[in-house]
Copies of this chain bind each other. A is one copy, B any other.
C-alpha cells in the first residue's frame, strides 16, 4: 500500500481491527448456530456476543509466541469471555475463519469499486452528452482519419466501463462465499448448518465444496477482473495524455492555481494524473499472475497463497479504488477545447474526407483501383504540403476526377459523419 494512492474507506477494510472484527462475527455467528443445533450451550453463545472483545496489540503479542494468528485471536477473546470461550471455534479450522473473512473483505471492497465505477459512469455520461456533437478528428495509428465527436469517445469509454461494472459484479459473486467445513472440508466435526447459518448472516453464498480452503480459482478470477478494469483505465488515461500533448492540446487535465508543473519550466502543464494512472494500471495488472499462481495449492491446501493475498488483497483493491476515483476526477474536471479540436480537424486540408470521394468515384463507375489511385495522388500532394494545399481544390482541378464541383463539395460536409451519433448514444445510454 502506498499512502498517497490510498483512500480511507478502502484502507479501512484491510486494517487489523477490521479483520479481527469480521473474525469475531464469524466465530460468534458460528457459535449461535452451534447453540441452535444444541452442540454448545445457548448461554455460551450469548456470552460471546456480550463479553467478546479483542485488542490488536495483545493478539500480536500472543502470535509472537504461538506463531499462529487464529489461536492468538481466540486466546485473546477468551481472556474477555472467560471459560465459555471454549465453545467457540468448535469443529472449525483456522481457514474457516480466514477464508470467510477474506470473502467478506473482498465483497466489501467490490462494493466500493462498484460505487467507484458508478460514479465514473455518471461523469462519463454527463461529459459525453455535453460533447455529444463536439467535432474532433478520429485517429487511427495516430494519423488523422475521419471526424468523430468528443462525446463519442466518452460514450465508448462509458460502454467499456459499464462492461467492467458487469464483470466486477460477477467477480464479486464468484468470491463472496462462506466456508465453514472443518479441517479438510468434510464437516466431520461441524454440521453444514453452521456454514449455511453464517453465510446467511454475512450475506455470502455457501461454498459447495471446500478443502479446508475456499478454492483460489475464485480469487484468481477476481484479481484478473481487476486487471482488466485497470487496463481500461490505462486506455482512457492514454487518450487524455495524447490529447494533451503540445501539438494536439485538445484537452487538459484541470490545473489548480497553486500547482507547479515543473521545477525548471514554469509554462508546463503536464498530464501527470493520467500518467500516474498509467503506472497504477501496471501495478494492478501485475497482481494478476500471482493470484493465478495461487490456484494450484497442494492437496487440500497449503499456505503459499496467504502471503500473496496479504499484499494483493489490499494493494490491488486500494490502488484500483484510488485510480478509479482519480480517473473520475480527471474526467469530471477535464478542460476541453472544442475550437482546437476543430482547428486540428481542418488542418490537413480536407484529407479526412478522402474516403467519401473514393466511394463517390466507385459509385460513379470508376474501378476501385483507379479511384484509389486518383484520390491518393491528390491526397499525397496535400499531405506533403502539411495542409497548405486543399484536397477539394486539387480534386476539382484533376481532369481525371469526373465528379462535378458540387458533387465534390458535398463530400466535404462534416455533418455527414455525425448523422449516426444519436444511434450510438441510444445504444450506449438507452436514449440519445
Contacts and interface: CB of A to CB of B under 8 A. Distances in A.
B249 A183 contact: no
13 contacts: A67-B260, A68-B261, A74-B368, A142-B245, A143-B269, A164-B217, A192-B423, A228-B292, A265-B355, A276-B303, A276-B306, A279-B304, A282-B308
A138 B185 CA distance: 9
B86 A368 contact: yes
A176 B280 CA distance: 25
B275 A417 contact: no
B140 A238 contact: no
Interface in A74-95: 74-75, 78, 83, 85-86, 89-94
A266 to B, nearest CB: 4
How many chain A residues sit at the interface, stated as a range, is 35 or more
Contacts of A264: 92-94, 182-183, 189, 355, 358
Given A5-B307, A272-B141, A372 B286 contact: no
Nearest to A351: B267
Contact of A141 (B152, B259, B303, B315): B303
A197 interface: no
B227 A292 contact: yes
Contacts of A396: none
A242 interface: yes
Interface stretch (A50-58, A113-121, A293-301, A400-408): A293-301
A56 B271 CA distance: 26
Given A224-B228, A372-B260, A266 B304 contact: no
A296 B220 contact: no
A432 interface: no
B141 A302 contact: yes
Contact of A70 (B263, B303, B428): B263
**Residue with the highest number of chain B CB atoms closer than 10 Å, among A143, A267, A293:** A267
Nearest to A244: B142
A358 B90 CA distance: 10
Contact of A217 (B211, B232, B239, B299): B232
Interface string A349-377: 00110111011001000011100100110
Contacts of A299: 138-140, 142, 239, 242
